Amino acid sequence: MRNFFVAVPIALLAIGGSTACATKKFVRTSVGEVNEKVDSQGRALEAALKALAAFDANSHGPHDLKVRAALVASAAQALWQFVVQREACGLRDSGAMMRMYGVPAEVRDRMGVFPPGRP
């Protein structure tokens, strides 16, 4: 009976060891996918901020206000998605990230605000 109590934990350890390898592979794959997602969200934010800056450098007159508002909304949406993705990864300091990316206060203030008619 005593041998049974020793053999069962050893067998479970052997079985658990094999599943641990599968788990490690899953985690490595998942981490790689999350890194790619965060990276793509960062690139989307950079592109939106660059488009807004280019527009501001070349804007002409009040008829451009609607276009600029759309660019600000787009940048704010990209920022919101990036912040959410980073927070899901445990990166909670969004203030430092916003300073690093040079996010204007106007974009930061619109983060998470959806246009009318959109959930």
Has residue 103 been placed in a domain? yes
Number of domains in the chain: 1
**Rg of the chain (C-alpha set):** 24
Has residue 83 been placed in a domain? yes
User: Taking residues 11-34, what's their average pLDDT?
Assistant: 60
Dist CA 101 CA 46 (whole Å): 7
Domain containing 78: what range? 2-110
Dist CA 119 CA 113 (whole Å): 10
pTM for the whole structure: 0.70
Has residue 9 been placed in a domain? yes
The CA-CA-CA angle for residues 5, 8, 11, to 5°, reads 150
Number of Cβ atoms within 10 Å of the Cβ of 97: 16
Has residue 116 been placed in a domain? no
Has residue 115 been placed in a domain? no
| CA nearest to 94, candidates 85, 83, 109 | 83
User: Taking residues 46-51, what's their average pLDDT?
Assistant: 96
Q: Name the more confident of 114 and 98.
A: 98
For the segment 85-103, what is each residue's pLDDT rounded down to a tens digit? Answer: 988 888 888 999 999 999 9
Has residue 118 been placed in a domain? no
Has residue 46 been placed in a domain? yes
Amino acid identity, position 114 = F
Q: Are 49 and 101 in contact (CB under 8 A)?
A: yes
